[in-house]
Amino acid sequence: MSSTQSREEQPKCVNLKVVAQLSGVSIAPVSNVITGRKYVSPEVTQRVLEVVQQVGYTPNQIARSLKKRRTTFLGGMVPDITNPFFAEIVRGLESVALENGFQMFLYNTDGDVSRENTILKSFIEHHVEGIVNVAPRMSEEKLYSFVKSRLVPMVVVDRPVSFDDPFFGLVYTDNVTASSKLALHFLQKGHKSFACLAGPLIVLNVCDRISDFVGELRRLSVPQSSIFVLYGEFKFESGFRLMEELLEFENRPTAVFACNDLMAWGAMEAAKRRGFSIPKDIAIAGFDNVFFAELMNPSLTTINQEKFGAGVIATQILLEIVNARKGKVPIGAESFVRKVTLQADLIQREST
Ligand code: RIB
């Protein structure tokens, strides 16, 4: 086939061999021009690139993966991508994956453990090189047995994990300090009765938030009878429903800590629809500092935790482990940090 043939006359499957024939060279220099792995003379490089453009050659990643028995796939799993908190983490994951030539499979777990297992199985079947697992709810034992299987390296985000392993990384926010700071903030505003709208207790950082918010209030001599904890889900509707319940209390609390911003938004809407003024009648704070927190009316006091940055750091750790696994760095001897704790800060706005 001549290099002058029109594109429609060219064979459907344009592979390295065809490009080499059209360029009048062997396959090795063509592969080196495309991968940049070895030097090729400017003349040959120019000729190969012209042919590549003429015939519209694109490397077949699947064929390359089969040959090298490695892929350029990463797996990402989050509870709910419609929650801006997780969406921002995914943006961080995606940016590092793209920068390093990886593609991503992304799934929502809906906080369902059996779904988490199905997704992990799918990642193994598709030979992903590594997994970023955000806020998993499966037991620590199950997580550890997956990591020990040495099937795929994993980095967990947004959940405390006690085990350590060269195939494992962790990015977790300090929920404790921030929740205590919020308790002090409410007291400094003169509040005497408090409520915590908690997310699902299976989420371990919810336990941290509640225990440290309540613990700080009790440490500062607030009687237990002035502290109420109601349990729901990390959803707008749940915050709305719990606030409606709270507003029926005889000695209604005046300071409310919702365990994430979606719950805080729902709680604020419920209070406003019942004619309460925020923060005059009832002060409300959230957790996450997602993009809408400052846009709410009144703007939401909340606790900021890293989102995009958490996704970036988690994926960087994962790729360090993946490279170590490829023998570029002896497993376990790596110098990089595999466990990172991020700080959370109180962001005071109009709602308190
Ligand atoms: O908004 C989702 C919540 O669940 C966040 O607070 C995050 O920490 C996760 O645990």
Q: Is the CB of 210 under 6 A from ligand 1?
A: no
Pairing of strands 339-342, 168-173: parallel
Q: Choose one of 77, 82, 86, 300 to mutate for the ligand 1 pocket test, by most ligand atoms within 8 angstroms of C-beta.
A: 86
Measured CA to CA, the distance from residue 58 to residue 53 in angstroms comes to: 9
How many Å lie between the centroid of ligand 1 and the Cα of residue 245? Answer: 23
pTM metric for this prediction:
0.82
Q: Name the band, by pLDDT with cuts 50, 70 and 90, for residue 3.
A: very low
CATH of region 67-174+308-343: 3.40.50.2300
The rounded mean pLDDT for the chain is: 90
Q: Is the CB of 289 under 6 A from ligand 1?
A: no
* Domain boundaries for CATH 3.40.50.2300 within the chain: 67-174+308-343, 175-304
What's the whole-number mean pLDDT along residues 115-140? 95
Structure confidence by residue, pLDDT tens digits, 4-31: 455 455 556 788 888 999 999 999 999 8
**Hey, is 235 helix, strand or coil?**
coil
Q: Is the CB of 203 under 6 A from ligand 1?
A: yes
Q: Is the CB of 167 under 6 A from ligand 1?
A: no
Structure confidence by residue, pLDDT tens digits, 89-126: 999 999 999 999 999 999 999 999 999 999 999 999 99
Compute φ and ψ for 266, nearest 5 degrees: -60, -40
What's the whole-number mean pLDDT along residues 249-267? 96
Q: Would you say domain 175-304 falls under CATH 3.40.50.970?
A: no
Q: Is the CB of 260 under 6 A from ligand 1?
A: yes
How many Å lie between the centroid of ligand 1 and the Cα of residue 172? Answer: 11
> Does the structure show a pLDDT above 70 at 183?
yes
Q: Counting atoms of ligand 1 from 1, which one is nearest the CA of 262?
A: 1
Q: Is the CB of 186 under 6 A from ligand 1?
A: no
Q: Do the beta carbons of residue 202 and residue 231 sit within 8 Å?
A: no
Pairing of strands 344-347, 302-305: antiparallel
What is the per-residue pLDDT for 26? 92
> Does the structure show a pLDDT above 80 at 165?
yes
What is the per-residue pLDDT for 14? 80
Structure confidence by residue, pLDDT tens digits, 228-242: 999 999 999 999 999
DSSP 163-217: ---TTEEEEEE-HHHHHHHHHHHHHHTT---EEEEE--TTSHHHHHHHHHHHHHH
> Does the structure show a pLDDT above 90 at 340?
yes
What's the whole-number mean pLDDT along residues 181-205? 93
Q: Name the band, by pLDDT with cuts 50, 70 and 90, for residue 151.
A: confident
Q: Is the CB of 109 under 6 A from ligand 1?
A: no
Q: Do the beta carbons of residue 285 and residue 182 sit within 8 Å?
A: yes
Tell the residue nearest (CA) to atom 6 of ligand 1: 260
Pairing of strands 227-231, 194-198: parallel
Q: Is the CB of 302 under 6 A from ligand 1?
A: no
Which of left, alpha, beta for 199 (phi over 0: left; psi -120 to 50: alpha)?
Answer: beta
What is the per-residue pLDDT for 11? 53
7-59: CATH topology is 434 Repressor (Amino-terminal Domain) (1.10.260)
* Domain boundaries for CATH 1.10.260.40 within the chain: 7-59
